[in-house]
Structure 1
């Protein structure tokens, strides 16, 4: 591979600047796990050092050294063996570019069509075999400070984004490259697309973020202020391999419980993203859904497409029809193929009915331009949702630490109703044994006989709620400039503690959804102090520690305007 050189723009990200940022932001580090020590159940590292392999018409260059302002990072580059001018698609993440996880066992139940994948596909990335056959190079990069890449590992930071900028520019100038570079993949591979694109690398031509949370405080580490320490502890095991230091995100969660600069710097300037973008997520996804939609709404790209599906995260990415659309997108913007992609509908959503049953529908924008909103008032006495506000005040309590404790509110529809968009649940709550409350909200569908209808949920499950939301009550303060009636935006800038027995209003964001109700079916809102449903396995987002004790009481009617603000499509 011929050496490429680039002239750099932007901050130097020197060791001195890094130390200053660490001190200012209060970053904490832990020693990285040695790359020679694999995770339990993982394959050992295949060995470090540049080498070339040929597999049919595919050339693989292992551990290609790419210089960045953060130090040298290492990539495995897959490209057509005899091609001299090919575009490049970059995947960048801390998990390890070498396939070392038994994805068929670990991700059993995910819906991934394993029989369609080659032995070369890394977790959450494009399969190099078909993509090199289609005339692309795939560069899978170990993140700064991870595995054998140099530097200290930080996550979702500006310094990481500028290293990505350098990676794009270096690959664009390789002698076999056309100079057009794309960026994409799933989860971390996708999340970095927002921040790298915001640095405006001259040769970045398109991004394909598939499930790309864009605000890691609100969507991953502290859902609406509620920490998920067990989940992040497991995530740190996957991301913490390196020869130097790795950022300790668990310590960061403890040291920075509010949305201060430590977290603010990890949210990209969405408006600065102006390259063609094909963003994909799923309504069941309780990790990436919100952030993918919000970033897509915020970017300034003239050619931007949003797809919100009804299936599981990895299932959709590897489906043959999805891979075909990925190819069509990159063909258009990395190869200049006039294939009609620029005329794609701006938005495509999966309208759901039950379980894994959903149908794509083309739309012009998100939120849908013809969405209207209906207010459904909670009645604690009857356990119902009503079109009329109850005149009399009422209250219902549940044990906040008991999985069986909950308050439920139902409405039965007499006509066909489509719920598509963002929703808000306003509650007046009080507590008796704690000055805070962690609130978990599920939105469920009941059939004509009152039986619960399960839906695909999260990344692995088939029996979850159709909608969800969370809030730590002490984080209830709103950012008034960013909030809308249907989408509360919590500032998370301070903590307002509860006073014993005193009701306060809280607005809970219900993440985007699209569900069709037939006449006779019902919508149920569930409010709990524990997760709406428990699961087992490594992919459950476990929230802990919680700020609950004693009872939560929900107040409705009279002076208490507790209600569900529901998005409705009438066509």
Structure 2
């Protein structure tokens, strides 16, 4: 007798098959066998799925005469194999080789896409529905159209959050108000989409290609070309999709993103980020479980059999936390496909990139991606101080909306942005009564004239002192001043070095004292000496005008600081920085956190930026420069600190822009990781070990920054507590 669980799994598999065939998917090899094995085999892109099998049944994957892998069918009757080479495979029952599927062909991510007729044969109407990918998987999609007659300029948001959930998307309201059709698509294995989920795996990029082409083929899409939108996760996914070069993709707008999953957010400096990255990954796994986002249940209860069938593979999702913990070093096999800096050169559409240096979630390392976008015909980037939502701030939104109008809608920029932006800004920060700053005037221009006007502006915009705009409430999402440049890194920047002196000073001249004539300064690396994070409020509260931070001075003996004399001239630094330290510790390894700040004449200290490094990860990668130390983070390059000797360790300061005014002092601190970021905390190896830093003639520890000339800076510094995401405290020295 067939068990109820077995019957349910079979029904789910049959429903999934019916949905695939009805949607016009390409034929799938291997759905039938000479001897019916009692389950369905679904080949995919470097993957293969088994559906409707007997729970607990042992199956093996065979290629040619050899067994490639084996596994046990889960409680939902499913089994999945990943990272398969393309080719023909058979699935058979362990112990009963006669019970085997027909051959099934696994494809590769680089294989040619289906014919245009595959996409044109799909229909998406206003409201909730499904599109079909090349392997037959259905992805849930929600279409929201603006008022008026179509066709409409169209934007797509694609992520593992809930963009396809009906009636829930703020982004849908935002873009329909701007006159765009909005399509929210859930990636494979999330929401009501089929398949199994693992963050940023290659099949999601291929699915994204298919989603773009299927959406663009719809009769309500203007020009049959679409743009991509979204902040954070859906911003990052744009990079993955655009590398596949969908022919119907007009442009992308990645906001608040990363440039390298490992180095920028998950393991900054080789130290696991347990404050944001790990909880985020855990939440993604939870929400990718069967009915994990909650709203799927309502769809199924309402009769959506496709959504029900699409939950069948969720128990095959890999354990993301195990993947993270098992890979403390950069593993190219895992890291390269999740490293946008390695495939950004394949993106061949216009790009609008924006974000904040102090982003409390993704981290602000994203500007390092800009010069990798070598195939994009137009790259525009705006960077500012601020939080994770700063990429939608008033100083950015106008130019962002103009970009979409020009490159996606192909129209002269409209005035709708002036109505939408203040509402969005108030909803994020709580500050009412704001408006867009002065915008480019396109009135009376043709489309071609407007496009030329937009393209004539310098593409790299740096917004300074966000939160301190003249005449606005403190913490309002507007900059005080800005400056634009032709490229990134900033051309014409000069390298300025300050050397760490034995007395705690930063000096322009290199040290002359000999090692035997001075005693290295030291501290105890105690991560418990301070709160792990600088913010303890509610999640959305950190985007408010003036959140309360707990950025503390390092207790005596738990860290070290160095500071310049008052600057004689204003110095504007833009880019990455390097803190080069000669380090010794009996433990043979330690975790280092360096923090850059500005100490003003009034005795206040303003946070600027931080950097991190596990000393054993200090091996430099090709491409490192005086201001940008890049590390391999490979296990094979691990270097323990030499016993009883000093070793040079270069810590990268994440990108930033700061105007250090005349009279202010530049300060760095060094301690164990913690209390430098609002949400980032670290799984540090530091446990109170003594750390010595040498500053003599032989061991020239130093701070290296890129100084940029020609930036006009207001004479008077703003109220430091007004600066967004730059905490302020008293300086006791």
What TM-score do you get using the length of structure 1 for normalisation?
0.80
Number of the residue aligned with 1:216: 261
Higher relative contact order (CA 8 A, sep 6+): 1
- Are residues 1:395 and 2:395 paired? no
| 8 A contact 1:468–1:511 mirrored in 2 | yes
* Aligned equivalents of 1:532, 1:554: Cα separation in 2: 21
Picking from 652, 670, 680, the partner of 1:541 is 680
- Alpha carbons of 1:424 and 1:250: their partners in 2 closer, same or farther (altered >3 Å)? same
**Counterpart secondary structure, 1:196:** helix
Picking from 180, 184, 195, the partner of 1:151 is 195
Picking from 440, 461, 464, the partner of 1:348 is 461
Number of the residue aligned with 2:670: 527
Number of the residue aligned with 1:309: 384
Picking from 601, 604, 616, the partner of 1:474 is 616
- Alpha carbons of 1:353 and 1:527: their partners in 2 closer, same or farther (altered >3 Å)? farther
Structure (1 or 2) with the greater helix fraction: 2
- Alpha carbons of 1:287 and 1:224: their partners in 2 closer, same or farther (altered >3 Å)? farther
- Are residues 1:407 and 2:560 paired? yes
- Are residues 1:138 and 2:213 paired? no
| 8 A contact 2:358–2:386 mirrored in 1 | yes
- Are residues 1:274 and 2:322 paired? no
Look at both structures and tell me which one has the larger radius of gyration over its CA atoms.
2
Deviations 1:217-256 (A, max 9, x none): 1111111100023433421343122330334332112111
**Counterpart secondary structure, 1:152:** coil
| 8 A contact 2:133–2:211 mirrored in 1 | yes
How much is the aligned-residue C-alpha RMSD, in angstroms? 2.7
* Aligned equivalents of 2:466, 2:46: Cα separation in 1: 53
Quote how far apart the aligned CAs of 1:557 are.
1.5
- Alpha carbons of 1:332 and 1:289: their partners in 2 closer, same or farther (altered >3 Å)? farther
**Counterpart secondary structure, 2:237:** helix
**Counterpart secondary structure, 1:213:** coil
Number of the residue aligned with 1:375: 497
| 8 A contact 1:378–1:556 mirrored in 2 | yes
> Where in structure 1 are there 5+ consecutive unaligned residues?
25-58, 101-118, 454-464
Picking from 127, 141, 155, the partner of 1:61 is 127
* Aligned equivalents of 1:488, 1:91: Cα separation in 2: 35
| 8 A contact 1:443–1:525 mirrored in 2 | yes
Number of the residue aligned with 2:358: 284
* Aligned equivalents of 2:672, 2:613: Cα separation in 1: 10
Quote how far apart the aligned CAs of 1:546 are.
3.1
Picking from 646, 658, 676, the partner of 1:503 is 646
> Where in structure 2 are there 5+ consecutive unaligned residues?
1-21, 28-42, 50-79, 87-124, 291-313, 412-446, 469-474, 531-554, 711-733
Quote how far apart the aligned CAs of 1:334 are.
1.2
What TM-score do you get using the length of structure 2 for normalisation?
0.63
The residue correspondences of 1:310-329 to structure 2 (distance < 5 A) are 310-317=385-392, 319=393, 322-329=396-403
Picking from 137, 140, 145, the partner of 1:79 is 145
- Are residues 1:446 and 2:494 paired? no
- Alpha carbons of 1:497 and 1:151: their partners in 2 closer, same or farther (altered >3 Å)? same
* Aligned equivalents of 1:159, 1:426: Cα separation in 2: 41
* Aligned equivalents of 2:457, 2:284: Cα separation in 1: 36
* Aligned equivalents of 1:82, 1:468: Cα separation in 2: 49
The residue correspondences of 1:186-335 to structure 2 (distance < 5 A) are 186-240=231-285, 241-242=287-288, 243=290, 244=314, 245-260=316-331, 261-268=333-340, 269-285=343-359, 287-288=361-362, 290-300=364-374, 301-317=376-392, 319=393, 322-335=396-409
* Aligned equivalents of 1:210, 1:203: Cα separation in 2: 21
Equivalenced residues, count: 492
**Counterpart secondary structure, 2:328:** coil
Quote how far apart the aligned CAs of 1:60 are.
5.0
**Counterpart secondary structure, 1:210:** coil
| 8 A contact 1:14–1:70 mirrored in 2 | no
Picking from 555, 565, 590, the partner of 1:437 is 590
Quote how far apart the aligned CAs of 1:196 are.
0.9
| 8 A contact 2:358–2:364 mirrored in 1 | no
**Counterpart secondary structure, 1:129:** helix
Number of the residue aligned with 1:107: none
Quote how far apart the aligned CAs of 1:439 are.
0.7
